[in-house]
Structures are given as C-alpha cells and as structure tokens.
Chains A and B, each alone.
Chain A
Amino acid sequence: MADATFETAPARRAPGVTRLTIFAYLLVAPVLILIVALIGYPFVFAIWISFTDQVVGNAGKWIGLANFAYLSKNATFTASIWNTIVMVVVSDGLKLLIGLGLALLVNQALPGRGIFRSFLMLPWAMPGFVAFLTWRVLYQPIGGGINLILTATGLHSGVIDWLGQRSTAMPAVIVATVWRGFPFWFVSILAALQAVPKELYEAARVDGANGWQQFWTVTVPGIRQVVIVTVLLSSIWTANGFENVWLLTQGGPSDATIVFPVLAYFGMQTQRLGEAAAVSVYTLPVLIILVLIATSLMLRDEE
C-alpha cells in the first residue's frame, strides 16, 4: 500500500506547479481582485446595462438591442460618429506634427533647451477645465483674445463667432484640444529620439545619407514603436474626451461638435443609464480594433 501511494502521488502533481508558483499567484491575487473589481466589473456592468432600459433607481429589464437601434436612428448619434472620427484623426495628426517637430528641434544642442522643454509641458500640466475655459474666453466673439488680436493686427475687423458657427466650431475645439494634448506627444517622441543610437546616424552619414534620408532610415524606425503607442493612447483619450467639447460648445452649435462622450452625458442627464451606456459601448469595437492594430504593429516590429 505504502509503495503504491508513493508511486501515484507524484503523478497527481501538475508539472511546474510548486509552492513558490502558487505563492506567487497568491501575492498577485489582491491586485487581480482589485483589477476585476475596479475595471472588470464596471466594464462588464456597462455592457450589461446597455442591453437594459435601466434608469436611475430602477434596475430595468433586458431589452436586447433596442437602445442600439434607437441610437442608430438618431441623427445626433450619426453626427457624433463623424465628429468623433474627425476629432481623433485631425487632432492626433496635428499633435503628431507639432510633437515631432518640437521634439526634433529640442533634441538638438540648443542653448536653454531645458527651459524650453519645461515650457512646452505647461499645457499638459494645466488642469483641463482651466485650459478649456481659458480657450473659451479667448474664443469669445466680443472681447475675446483672438478677435482682439486679429483686430489689433489688422488681419480682420469685426466679430468672428468662433464657437457659434458650424464652419469654425469644430476647428476651434480641435485647436484647443491639440494645444492641450501635444506635450504628451512631444515628450514621448523626445524620449524615443534620445534612445536612438548616435552610431546609426554616423554610419548613415558615412554612407552618404543626407538629413532627410537619415530621418527616414534612422529616426523614423527608431521612434516608430513609441509613436504607435502614443497614437493608440492619444486616440483613446481624444475619443473619450469630454471636457474639451463640453466646456467649449456643449456639442453645438446644432450638432457641429457633438461627440460620443457628450452624447452619453446627455443620456445621463435624462437618467437613462441603459441608453447612455449604449453610446459608450458603441465605441468599444473601434477601440478594440485600434488596440489590435497597434499591438500587431508592435509585435511585427519586435520580430
């Protein structure tokens, strides 16, 4: 009997599962529990209530895709899709250009570049609501800073209602959004630039590459991964950005600047949690696609 027991006991032990392994799992368990409680549960719960007619104070009942069907027929929802795409693509494009340009500039051996770097971080360090309320004041049609400058410099006289016209409202919101967000791009790209080995540039110069060729063959591959991650993060933040639009235009005029988060907020204002959650859930596939693209590009780079 005793021999038989000794022979069967090792067979039950899962290969590689040791006390240390289990202890390690126990050590990370609190973090996992926190992640599930603080991220997993709200995430799944939001998806769940998007399929219900829940309002504040009432759990509601399962209504299938009714919230999504209602939204898809709503002209404001359609406008919010387009506006969100425009906001993300144009904002991130401009942030990339400005962030890259400034990072390349500051990466040079210039006098006072340390101060310049700190100065460029100011928009990001400023609380969002302060930044956007300041922009709102600047955009004021009467007495606003931008119109005063235009008048003083003779570029334009009269009142431009920057936030009150369809033609200028979205560009105005984008400019404020870019101003607030470009430092993140700048600092990320600058860090990546400083990690590119100098020897590569020397080798390229020896091979006769000019500045432009060095940029494309050394700099771009060197910062590519960082830019991809930055694009991903910035796109998600911009798509979920609320305070920029809300503080500047509340989604108006008409539906010129309505975006997903503002639309969801309107749903919350009317207590219809299921509908508000459905707006947010609509963005999920897009964000998942963004993550998958970025991940696959990063993995390809590693290979």
Chain B
Amino acid sequence: MSEADNSKSGAGAPWTRRKVLGAAAASTAAVALGAGLAAPAIAQGKKLTYWGGLIFSDDANKLLTDTINEWGAKNGVQTEVVMINQNETTQKVSAAVASSSMPDALDVGLDLAILLARQGQFSTLDDLYKKIGDAQGGWYEGTDKATDTSAIAGGRVGIPFGVNGNLLLRRKDLLEPAGFKDPPKTWEELAAQAAAVNKPPVYGLGLALSNVGDGNTQMSVLQSYGGRIADDAGKKVTIKSDATKAYLSWVKDAWDKGLFPPGNTTWDGAGDNQAYLAGQAAFIANTGSVGIAAKKDDPDLFNGSAFSALPGGPKGVISPITPQLRVVTKSSPMQDEAKALLEYLSNPDFMNAYFNVAIYGPVLKAQEKLKAFDGSNTILVGLLDLAKNGTAPAWPDVYNAAYADLSGNFIIPKMVQRVVIDGWDFDKAMDEAQTQGQAIYDKY
C-alpha cells in the first residue's frame, strides 16, 4: 500500500507528538494496572507459609506437614506447608530473597542461617529461644554455642530443632567374623579393619572423596590429624603443614591398598548410601539416613550393621554437629503467628514422634528422656551421643563465612583428588589447596 493509499483511508495521517505520548502513557498505564491488580490478590490471601526441609523419611515429612496444618486449624491461621529438598534449599532461598518472596518461616541449616542472618533476613528470637530452653532443661552446649548469631545479627535468629552429623556405619556381620567386635577408635584402626574385609566387590572404606558435602568429611579427618584450615583468627590459611601431610599419607595409603570403592571420587550425595545399601562398602560415614533405608528395605543388612562415633586421629575425635534451625523471616507480616508456630513445634510430644521417624539428634537436654532415645533405636542412640559429645562446626577452626566458602568449593576433597587421581606429591597438592584457600579467605 502506497502512502497515498494510506492518506485516502485515513490511516496514514501523521501522528502528533502528543498522540504518540498519549498512546505510550496509555500502554504504560495498562501495564501498571495489570501489575497493580495482582498485588491485592497476594495481600488478600493472608496465610502463613512454611518451608519445611524435605528429608529421606516420608513419615517425617508428612508428620511435619500435618502438625503445622493442624496447628493452623486449631488457631485459626491459614497455613501452607511447602517441603523443600534440603539439597535445593540454598538455591530456592537465594531466589526467594532476590525476588522478595520469602516464606514466613522455614527450616534452614546452620550455614545458610548464618549467611542470611548476616544480611538481616531473619527476625531475632532470643525470648522464644530462652523460653523453650528454660522449659526443657536447657540447650545442649554444642548446639547453644554453634547457633549463637548474636555477634552477627544482634540476637539469635533460629530455634534449633535437631542436630545431625556423621556417624560411622559398619558391617558388623563382616567385621566380627574377621575378629573386629569393637568399632575402630582411630582412623588407622579403621583402615586396618577395612583392609581385613576388603574383598571386591566389597570394599573396606566407603568414604566419598568427591566434590559433594560427603567429601567434606575429609576436613574432619584432616583436623583430627592436627591439620587446620586457618589460624585461630580465622584469617590466615594454614592447610600446608606436617599434620596435613600425615593425613594425606593415611588417605594415599588406603587408596593404594584399594580400600575405596571405584567411583568414590565422583560420587554424588547419595554415592556412599548406594554403595553401602548395595553391599559394596564395609564402612561409611553417614548421617543415619542409610540406616533408615536399610531398616525399611533390607532388614538383614540393617541387622548386620552397627553405628558408632567417628574415629579419631592423633589430635582426638573431630565429629562436627550440624544443627538445623527454624527461622522467621523479617519480611513476614505474621511475626507473632510464626513465632507461636515455632514454639508449638518444639513441644515434646511432637518432637518425640518426629525424632522417631527423622534422622536428627536432640537439641534440648530434656529430650534425652524422650521415648525416642530409650536405646531401642541404634541410630538415635548414635545421634544422642553426637548431640552430647560432638564438636562444634569447624572446630578447632573458626566457623566463619570464609570457612563455609572453602567448604563449598570442596578444597580439601580436591586436594585429596590431586594426590590420588592426578598423582601429585603431597607438597604440590597442599600448595595448591593453600593458595586457593587463602584466595578465598582474602575475600572476607
């Protein structure tokens, strides 16, 4: 169509600047109106949203969901429970923080709690923490110290509800016939026992050396040999040391003897679980989830297994606890309701039922007397021991953001991989870990 045709039809008449601006304003108003209409819909549905940490136990997940909804029904509070896979909590919470769409309350691990407390994302809960502690015999010392965020957030931001950490799970049905009735007390003993039953396809040491959280168990082994990540100020990295060299000797020796199952340098988070459940590993370090799976799916394996504390090194036992917390977000318009819910969730009846189906140790001293910890469940016995005697996260190192960053970059398992996969000598591997570690610490 020519311009002349346009003129004839009237469509080609020139638009004035005013008309164009008017059309643009109308478009903008339409977009703004669309956005504005959505807002009241969110505000109208005032309900308490809770993000629960999804764990291996379906029973535990259901119990938490049902309990929150029942509490809501009793108290006239509309509730919505969303169970978040714990492996994805960081990503989901990060996205929620960025988009200002955090729930009212949620379950978080200590790492994320500390990081976001530093950014002022959570409400302080000192009064509630004290009230619950006073009512139930006080908090275990390790939990109390590890979860104190006063220095970074002006108060406590989380109510601990359970601790986990690694226990040593062993195949007593293989070890006892080989003459090992008692669990190994040291890593050297562990390697000796593992070597005695190492008959592929059953391998002695089902420890992950890969770039996943399980691989960071090696940090505890290193520390039990006297190695340190950084100095007491938590500033200067001190990975390169004779103690680290002694630790690397232990790993390399076990590797050369073929005690580790093949593939353990690329295992995902379930690698050790699967190896143990498939009968390919005589020992693993695990939170207890494997025990629950074995109890349900392979009773023979469960009956042939036993739990104990992690072994120690020349400098003692390093068995860090990882407290899990419930937090209230500062952006929540339902602060009082969220705090009331957290108080309700700490009641002994619920926690007794929850401990029975979940894989957490207690956080309050009175919880030791709950039926769940009467000794009939060997996993919970191990977790109770961990709660009472476990070491603080990162100890003897300082647990700070740099330490968490170094852990998240798997510097120690990567150092081990340099030795066992790439064949680097200890000094070269330690040099690289030292340099990379210091670069991380220098950022903070």
CB of A23 within 8 A of CB of B11, answer: yes
Residue of A nearest to B28 (CB): A33
Mask: chain B, 420-444; 1 = CB below 8 Å from A; 0 = not: 0110000000001000100100010
Q: CB of A255 within 8 A of chain B?
A: yes
Q: For residues 255 through 277 of chain B, which have their beta carbon under 8 Å from a beta carbon of chain A?
A: 261-266, 268
- Contact segment of B90-98, B238-246, B350-358: B90-98
Mask: chain A, 148-186; 1 = CB below 8 Å from B; 0 = not: 000000000001010111100100000000000000000
Q: CB of B201 within 8 A of chain A?
A: yes
Residue of A nearest to B200 (CB): A159
Q: How many residues of B contact A (CB 8 A)?
A: 53
Q: For residues 120 through 134 of chain B, which have their beta carbon under 8 Å from a beta carbon of chain A?
A: 120-121
CB of B121 within 8 A of CB of A57, answer: yes
Contacts of B13 in A (CB 8 A): 18-19
Residue of B nearest to A57 (CB): B119
Contacts of A19 in B (CB 8 A): 6, 10-15
Secondary structure type dominating chain B contacts: loop
- Known interface pairs A57-B121, A74-B439. Does A255 touch B210 (Cβ–Cβ under 8 Å)? no
CB of B262 within 8 A of CB of A142, answer: yes
In whole angstroms, what is the CA distance A16 to B405 when docked?
59
Residue of B nearest to A53 (CB): B443
CB of A266 within 8 A of CB of B11, answer: no
CB within 8 Å: A-B pair count: 131
Residue of A nearest to B417 (CB): A254
CB of B94 within 8 A of CB of A268, answer: yes
Q: For residues 305 through 323 of chain B, which have their beta carbon under 8 Å from a beta carbon of chain A?
A: none
A residues in contact (CB < 8 Å) with B: 13, 16-20, 22-23, 26, 29-30, 33, 53, 55-58, 70, 73-76, 140-143, 159, 161, 163-166, 169, 247-256, 266, 268-273
In whole angstroms, what is the CA distance A20 to B410 when docked?
61
CB of B266 within 8 A of CB of A142, answer: no
19 residue pairs A–B, Cβ–Cβ below 8 Å: A17-B14, A23-B11, A56-B98, A74-B439, A140-B263, A141-B262, A142-B200, A142-B263, A142-B280, A163-B266, A164-B264, A247-B268, A249-B266, A252-B421, A253-B417, A253-B421, A254-B414, A268-B94, A271-B94
Contacts of A270 in B (CB 8 A): 404-405, 408-409
A44 → chain B, closest Cβ, in Å?
16
CB of A266 within 8 A of CB of B409, answer: yes
In whole angstroms, what is the CA distance A30 to B27 when docked?
9
CB of A252 within 8 A of CB of B266, answer: yes
Mask: chain B, 184-211; 1 = CB below 8 Å from A; 0 = not: 0000000000000000110000000011
Residue of A nearest to B406 (CB): A270
Q: CB of B20 within 8 A of chain A?
A: yes
Q: CB of B116 within 8 A of chain A?
A: yes
Residue of A nearest to B23 (CB): A26
Contacts of A248 in B (CB 8 A): 266
B318 → chain A, closest Cβ, in Å?
22
Contacts of B23 in A (CB 8 A): 22, 26
- Known interface pairs A19-B12, A26-B23, A142-B262. Does A254 touch B421 (Cβ–Cβ under 8 Å)? yes
In whole angstroms, what is the CA distance A273 to B421 when docked?
31
CB of A159 within 8 A of CB of B262, answer: yes
In whole angstroms, what is the CA distance A189 to B435 when docked?
48
Contacts of A18 in B (CB 8 A): 3, 6, 11-14
In whole angstroms, what is the CA distance A252 to B208 when docked?
12
A280 → chain B, closest Cβ, in Å?
15
Contacts of B15 in A (CB 8 A): 17, 19, 22
The contact of A75 among B6, B263, B265, B436, by CB within 8 Å, is: B436
Contacts of A20 in B (CB 8 A): 1, 6, 11-12
CB of A56 within 8 A of CB of B264, answer: no
- Known interface pairs A23-B11, A26-B23. Does A70 touch B443 (Cβ–Cβ under 8 Å)? yes
CB of B115 within 8 A of CB of A55, answer: yes
B119 → chain A, closest Cβ, in Å?
3
- Known interface pairs A57-B116, A163-B263, A266-B409. Does A252 touch B97 (Cβ–Cβ under 8 Å)? no
Residue of B nearest to A54 (CB): B98
- The 4 closest A-B CB pairs, nearest first, are A57-B119, A141-B262, A270-B408, A161-B262
Q: Which one of B120, B210, B265, B404 has the greatest number of beta carbons of chain A within 10 Å?
A: B265
CB of B116 within 8 A of CB of A164, answer: no
Q: CB of B418 within 8 A of chain A?
A: yes
